[in-house]
Structure 1
């Protein structure tokens, strides 16, 4: 654990993506099973203290996570206005009812969203899809056909933006993109769908011709390894989850959402 906290920022970004995935799982599953402000708040506080060691600069950190900071309070506001009312009622109008219970639930929900989403975004900000596919196939032993198909599809996502711009420029050059934004959007979306299907078909044929769907064990160009640093990252996620759950149980705020109501 000390090795991870004192390592250079680039060291964390170079860890095996499978270890990052496992760390997020062991960290977030306990937070998903409860809805209380203590466990989520404790986990979020520890995560914020560790984010500077994750290998992201502050500018990149805010650029990657601003949507999470924006949506989490909006989620809390929605729960505060329309959540289950209990305790003292502070305000009531039509379907809006702000109560002591709804405010508590809103705070817990907002903190839980931040505690779950932020580490996921930070740890996977610099993950290469090919490294992730290598880890899924070699470390987790997922079917190679499934992993390579997913990797190929993920690589094609980046072409959607270029295709959309090319379609927009082509329609404008023909003078059919000046009016009717909704109609233009629907037409371009359909054209992009057709183009994606054609490209996907060609890609599938090309991969089949190169033996990607052949039976038997595969060989891999790059070996995916899980070493002590990766296991320390998983252990760190488990420690954060254990501390958060322990704090919630000790304060009596643990609220197991799958338990009897």
Structure 2
């Protein structure tokens, strides 16, 4: 199993419509993007961690799926700490580096906000089946079927690309051309994978056209609908976003980005 593959299961979270998962994560993201403050982000993050045990991921799966978010948040916070807008007392100044009270506070807010936005999105996406997502986007959101099905076909080929990359490595090693020049070998192998992917894409497009894709109104093998459990998840997202904004405003920490 790769990191990109969905996690299957029989829990309630696995039966929730992918559109509802997208809506819940989008509501939280929009609310947190509107302000740069540590209070709203910390409140949202605390509520999210209280809900994560019901997200259908074990502790190991959670770490394996979310480690890029933790690294990105740490790097983003470090950048803001060293080069953020200075204000208040100065603690370190060297060339372009300027660490002040304002940059420290802004760095903490940035880290918390990136985690509060990224973690629920990754956790919810981990239990989304690409085919069910395509069904929901086309039938509920009413996105164009040609675009949705084409994107689904491309996503399904990601696993094949990984297999092709490994096969190319083994083939080149068997011919004795993979023992040195790692950087040069990478670009040559990437070009070979590009050629292979273009050929596979052409064959896939021909096969879809031969089956009449896009020539008539499309029907769907699986009907996608929203149910009560989907509404519960969206409401939970709204509650998390509302609580974060309310506490931030009540404590006077709300810092609307349009006013900066």
User: Same-fold call, TM > 0.5?
Assistant: yes
Q: Deviations over 1:75-97 (max 9, x none)?
A: 21111011111111111111111
Match of 2:81 in 1: 80
Matched, 1:71 2:72: yes
Matched, 1:185 2:186: yes
Match of 2:144 in 1: 143
Matched, 1:226 2:226: yes
Matched, 1:156 2:157: yes
Distance in 2 separating the partners of 1:135 and 1:9: 19
Distance in 2 separating the partners of 1:148 and 1:73: 36
Match of 1:237 in 2: 237
Give the superposition deviation at 1:212.
Answer: 1.4
Distance 1:56 1:9, change over 3 A: farther
Matched, 1:27 2:46: no
Give the TM-score, by structure 2 length.
Answer: 0.94
Structure 1 ranges of 4+ moved more than 2 A: none
Contact 2:83 2:98 in 1 (8 A): yes
Match of 1:57 in 2: 58
Q: Deviations over 1:130-182 (max 9, x none)?
A: 00001001111111111100000000011111101111111112221112111
Distance in 2 separating the partners of 1:199 and 1:258: 47
CA root-mean-square deviation: 1.3
Q: Secondary structure at the match of 1:90?
A: strand
Distance in 2 separating the partners of 1:9 and 1:214: 37
Unpaired runs of 5+ residues, structure 2, are: 1-8
Unpaired runs of 5+ residues, structure 1, are: 1-7
Contact 1:13 1:123 in 2 (8 A): no
Distance in 1 separating the partners of 2:94 and 2:160: 48
Contact 2:245 2:254 in 1 (8 A): yes
Distance in 2 separating the partners of 1:151 and 1:194: 21
Q: Deviations over 1:191-245 (max 9, x none)?
A: 00010011001101101111112132x1111111101110111111011101100
Q: Map of 1:102-181 to 2, 5 A cutoff?
A: 102-181=103-182
Distance in 1 separating the partners of 2:59 and 2:173: 40
Q: Map of 1:12-51 to 2, 5 A cutoff?
A: 12-51=13-52
Match of 1:4 in 2: none
Give the TM-score, by structure 1 length.
Answer: 0.94
Contact 1:9 1:53 in 2 (8 A): no
Give the superposition deviation at 1:67.
Answer: 2.1
Match of 1:3 in 2: none
Distance in 2 separating the partners of 1:127 and 1:224: 13
Give the superposition deviation at 1:9.
Answer: 7.5
Contact 1:85 1:97 in 2 (8 A): yes
Contact 2:21 2:125 in 1 (8 A): yes
Match of 1:101 in 2: 102
Distance in 1 separating the partners of 2:244 and 2:10: 25
Equivalences, count:
252
